[in-house]
């Protein structure tokens, strides 16, 4: 069995954003040489997410509105976490909703997706570099 590990780094200029990272993950799978196995894609920060969905701008806008309705950024005083001097409690909650990681099957050296599926990095407290772990295992 082969094992491959790589860190991808992203910096979203605003507080929130969604980046399609499918091509970078595909490159990791190719680099790994794994033809049959699994790839784990994991946000390594507690205010960021990795998820699978459609790459459609309207959906991304819907996510923004939906997440802000569930866990609005302001007023920051509504969150006990922000008593520590932080202003990102909402980002922790948004990450919890969107998830920490995804696992995708690799078949014949390619990501084995359903129709329209893509891998996204979701940022909820941006403006600094954050990493995503890509771990490929298989043969």
The listed CATH number (3.40.50.300, 2.60.120.460, 3.20.20.450, 3.10.129.10) that belongs to domain 2-138:
2.60.120.460
* pLDDT tens figures, 4-29: 999 999 999 999 999 999 999 999 99
Nearest to 72 by CA among 85, 88, 58: 88
Tell me the pLDDT band of 137, cut-offs 50, 70 and 90.
very high
Domain spans in the chain, listed from the N-terminal domain onward? 2-138
- Looking at residue 128, what is its pLDDT? 95
- Please provide the distance, in angstroms rounded to a whole number, between the alpha carbons at the two ends of the chain: 5
Measured distance CA(76)–CA(73) in Å, rounded: 6
* pLDDT tens figures, 98-135: 999 999 999 999 999 999 999 999 999 999 999 999 99
Cα dihedral sign for 26, 40, 94, 80? negative
């Amino acid at each position: 069995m082969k094992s491959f590990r790589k860190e991808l780094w992203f910096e979203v200029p605003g507080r929130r954003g969604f980046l399609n990272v499918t091509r970078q993950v595909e490159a990791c799978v190719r680099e790994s040489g794994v033809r049959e196995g699994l790839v784990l894609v994991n946000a390594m920060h507690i205010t960021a997410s990795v998820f699978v969905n459609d790459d459609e701008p309207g959906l991304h806008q819907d996510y923004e509105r939906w997440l802000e309705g569930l866990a609005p950024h302001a007023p920051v005083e509504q969150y006990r976490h922000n008593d520590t001097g932080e202003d990102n409690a909402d980002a922790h909650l948004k990450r919890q909703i969107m998830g920490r990681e995804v696992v995708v099957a690799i078949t014949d050296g390619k990501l084995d997706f359903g129709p329209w599926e893509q891998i996204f990095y979701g940022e909820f407290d941006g403006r600094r570099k954050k990493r995503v772990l890509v771990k490929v295992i298989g043969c």
